Copies of this chain bind each other. A is one copy, B any other.
């Protein structure tokens, strides 16, 4: 087997911002830092930078490995690297852990410089708009005036949309993948059940569990199990697990019986051991709040009027979390504004998670778009 090309061993960097920042929620931070990674080289006129925005449980580690022995590469390593659809031989790619995250950027588990203790419940709500503003500060720091492209899937795609509204001049191309211009009632409902699982966990302690030396593992585990169901399609789950039993017969008990139970509990346990519950809450709220049309008290077309970027919008047929209909709403709003937009609806059985997976057609759409991209 040929080893696929990769950006190789990478190291995360940190950018400190010492000036206070006021967030959309009205909350403020005395300063903050963002952890980020870069792949490829910035060209002389700094015109080949691509910003990749992460989704709910993502982070800045998008491609490559931290050591040669590292078994797991970054979360979008199949898309980003030398010769890959987003080609690091050509582009300077940046991944950043969003403010409020739990992978190195300032978030609820970070020490509040005013108290020396973790922020916990005192960490303010963050929104997609706040992320875009803080990502722009990082771009300033790196000397990048305008991105060749801003790219993101799911919640990451929402950040791309917001970039096109907040900083129309600062991106030439916007790649909005498996995203939505706003959550539906059902999306919010699932998020609320996930939040209630965390908030009602006795180990949550109102968000200040750090100083109690516990973690709301039960709640976070349930939240992730539930999330996972919405990331997969009914068909994909049926094809992969169906009604397969771990042993051939019913056990008539509450331990794992069906393979799908085993899979979900494993995913829940793994996530609960590595992710911060307060960050999970913040991310789901940022999802709920994102709604450019609401924010500007107008239609989506009016909200997207400032956008100047050229758009590539991609959806996946079996994605029932952010269905193709949602992407088509974005298309309509862009067309209403005479924006240049390409749209690909990818046939896939993998539901929402398809945006993270290898699919020849999907990857060739991204590759072709990126290859022809002027910067």
Residues of chain A whose beta carbon lies under 8 Å from any beta carbon of chain B: 25-27, 124-125, 182-186, 188-190, 192-193, 195-197, 199-202, 218, 221-222, 225-226, 228-229, 232, 234, 237-238, 240-243, 250, 252-254, 257-258, 260-261, 264-265, 268, 281, 285, 288-289, 291, 294
Contact = CB atoms under 8 A, between A and B. Distances in A.
Contacts of A222: 193, 196-197, 200, 222
A55 to B, nearest CB: 20
20 contacts: A27-B252, A125-B252, A125-B253, A182-B243, A184-B243, A185-B240, A185-B242, A185-B258, A185-B260, A186-B234, A188-B243, A192-B260, A192-B264, A192-B265, A193-B226, A195-B254, A196-B225, A196-B268, A254-B285, A258-B288
A196 B265 contact: yes
B252 A26 contact: yes
Given A189-B260, A197-B197, A252-B125, A184 B294 contact: no
A192 B125 contact: no
A342 to B, nearest CB: 27
B193 A225 contact: yes
Contacts of A258: 185, 188, 192, 288
Give the interface SS of chain A, mostly helix, strand, loop or mixed: helix
A172 B365 CA distance: 58
A26 to B, nearest CB: 7
A195 to B, nearest CB: 7
Nearest to A262: B192
Contacts of A196: 221-222, 225, 265, 268
B26 A294 contact: no
A193 B227 CA distance: 10
B185 A237 contact: yes
A201 B200 CA distance: 10
Given A25-B252, A229-B190, A289-B250, A234 B264 contact: no
A252 B238 CA distance: 38
A161 to B, nearest CB: 16
Contacts of A254: 195, 199, 281, 285
By CB atoms of chain B within 10 A, which of A195, A240, A260, A285 has the most? A260
Contacts of A197: 197, 222
